[in-house]
Amino acid sequence: MNVRAVLAKGINFDHIFNPYRDPRQAYTDEERKGSEAALRDDEFKQAAGLGFTHVRLNLGQAFLQETRPPYRIRPAGLTLLDRALDMAAKNNLGLILDMHQIPVPNLTGDKEARQAFRALWRVLAARYLGRKQPLIFELLNEPRVEDAAAWREITLELIADIRDVDPNRVIIVSGGGWGGLDTVIELGNLKLPNLVYSFHFYDPFVFTHQGAGWAGKMLGELRGIAYPLDKDQLKAEAGKLRAEGLETGAVDDAAWGGGGKDQLKQELAPVFAFGKKEGLVLYCGEFGVHKPHAPPDSRARWIADMVSLLEGNGVPWAMWAYHAGFDLVDRSGQPIPALVSALGLRKP
């Protein structure tokens, strides 16, 4: 497998396998039917037609496994996942099985959660051993382990579990602190074959997450923030926030480097340098702009700048997301033309 070619241009599919629910709760027939309805060949076909080379398939744990001993696997979930693999293969798309469980499993403080997680990866490794399609495993989306040594230990443990079954599987690893730039550098070169080193990027947050109330009340109040960032606009927004008694530090500081492409370049430079120095395959598994309140032209400019910087440094990527409020497509399922152009894709 040419890993860089497979990962060149990707899109996240978070709308199928229920990543945002507690896996300790019983998985229902209604949820299973919802996943069956959401798993559509025409969406994989559309992604391939636009020129994406892979789908990052965001998985929840509950549809695959009970997370209390003896950690029974749910056959219906595996059968449904098989169908997703078949759709990707049919449409000549690479596929990342991204364990995207939120809430994130407590792999440092909960022995049962850790054993269940290890057992699940061993099952997936065995099930897809020898399958003839570009298939990559991503250990855990945005881990919440601030202790770098502890997360490195867990990462190596999970790699060993998979490689004990499937020695040649390509595996994506990331840093322990939310999968950011600094933490993948902190993880360091694990000096193992067939690894890809992932990071996510959403700076400046006051632009990419404006209106996203789930990310905090301050961000939820922001509307119409333009990119490149305008200091006068930010000053006015900070005044409104202060009048509501909200913290404004993130808004005050957002345009420290001019608020445009040069600022993005400066922020990304350390991870690019790390990858080049160590000879690693880097991968930006998420970047995007929350759609509801971002000016459409600004949204397209930020995404175009990100693609330019990533591809200019030989870093493959996956945009967040097909849906999820960061939408590539509109309500009718049609790709948004400005984003298609910004991503350098083929017009439908």
**pLDDT (tens digit per residue) in 216-249:** 999 999 999 999 999 999 999 999 999 999 999 9
d(Cα 169, Cα 161) in Å, to the nearest integer? 11
Within a 10 A sphere around the Cβ of 87, how many other Cβ atoms? 21
Give the domains, in start order, of the chain with CATH numbers: 3-205+260-342 (3.20.20.80)
> Hey, which bits of the chain come out as E strands?
9-17, 54-59, 94-99, 135-138, 171-174, 195-200, 281-286, 317-319
Residue 271 has pLDDT above 90, yes or no: yes
d(Cα 10, Cα 198) in Å, to the nearest integer? 13
- Residue 31: pLDDT band (50, 70, 90) is very high
Q: Comparing C-alpha atoms, which of 11, 2, 17 is closest to residue 345?
A: 11
**pLDDT (tens digit per residue) in 80-126:** 999 999 999 999 999 999 999 999 999 999 999 999 999 999 999 99
Model pTM score = 0.97
Residues 81 and 119 sit within 8 Å (Cβ to Cβ): no
pLDDT value for 98: 98
Residues 33 and 341 sit within 8 Å (Cβ to Cβ): no
Angle between helix axes 111-127 and 148-165 (nearest 10 degrees) is 30
What's the mean per-residue pLDDT of the chain?
Answer: 96
- Residue 347: pLDDT band (50, 70, 90) is confident
**pLDDT (tens digit per residue) in 319-333:** 999 998 999 999 999
